[in-house]
Amino acid sequence: MLAGKVIMITGASSGIGEAAAWVCAQHGATVVLVARRTERLRQLAAELRDKGAETAFASADVTCPTEVARAVDLAVERYGRLDAAFNNAGATTVSAPLHETDDADYDRVLDVNLRGVWLCMKYEIRAMLAAGTGGAIVNNSSVAGLRATSMGAPYVAAKHAVLGLTKAAAVQYAPSGVRVNALATGLTRSEMSEEVFARDPAAEERMRRRNPQGRVAHSTEVAQAAAWLCSDQASFVTGATMAVDGGAGAW
């Protein structure tokens, strides 16, 4: 499905990003891993290579333009092009009423979840246009990008904005062969969700009850959807928001 493609994955050091690295590699892609934790990336890259995958990694903060540009340049310089990207890096905050939310929490959540996607798209699209062969970008939003959730106003605002960026870019770059789609991800087992559950032990059961399937997704289930959108099998899909939420958005 992805044989011969070069795919960059942000937030690759754990959770959905790590799962996406394995799924994409298993489908034949060369994966470029991006996250802040260098040692974890190094370990994951070694594990992938042990299974026969071609991979490289770049330690980068997605809120820093020079670091994002360096990660994209690594993919292009080493492999000649960038075919696809899964912009998955994200951050959450303590759920609190809007008027009690700390300004620093707002800034951090918007920086990572929105500015990070903006910067990644900016440099990924530049590389794809320069190659002249098109490409595919998948942005990881959330069910919180479609409706208000308990995740807090900054998170909800950022994830809504990611869908707006996705649609704007999809329309602008469709003539150039660059497809841009988003995932509306539901409750998924990841480092981020575990942090939420640690802060609020009742949150997992509460969220399960709100989900028609009554369970938490495995990160691989989300990764498989991202991989499909990155592939040529999704060649006529752009500007779309794909729900991977166990039916939560249907209620």
Residue 171 lies in a domain: yes
All residue ranges of the chain with pLDDT < 50 are none
Catalytic status, residue 106: no
Select which of 79, 106, 123, 155 is catalytic: 155
pLDDT at 195: 67
Per residue in 36-83, pLDDT (tens digit) is: 999 999 999 999 999 999 999 999 999 999 999 999 999 999 999 999
Residue 26 lies in a domain: yes
Per residue in 93-116, pLDDT (tens digit) is: 777 899 999 999 999 999 999 999
For the chain, what is the domain count? 1
pLDDT at 11: 97
Q: Which domain holds residue 69?
A: 6-235
Residue 242 lies in a domain: no
Tokens describing residue 211: 């989900």
Question: Residue 46 belongs to a domain with what CATH number?
Answer: 3.40.50.720
pLDDT at 188: 87
Residue 90 lies in a domain: yes
Q: What's the rounded Cα separation, in Å, for the pair 115 and 249?
A: 25
Total-model pTM: 0.94
Residue 175 lies in a domain: yes
Residue 247 lies in a domain: no
Residue 1 lies in a domain: no
Residue 139 lies in a domain: yes
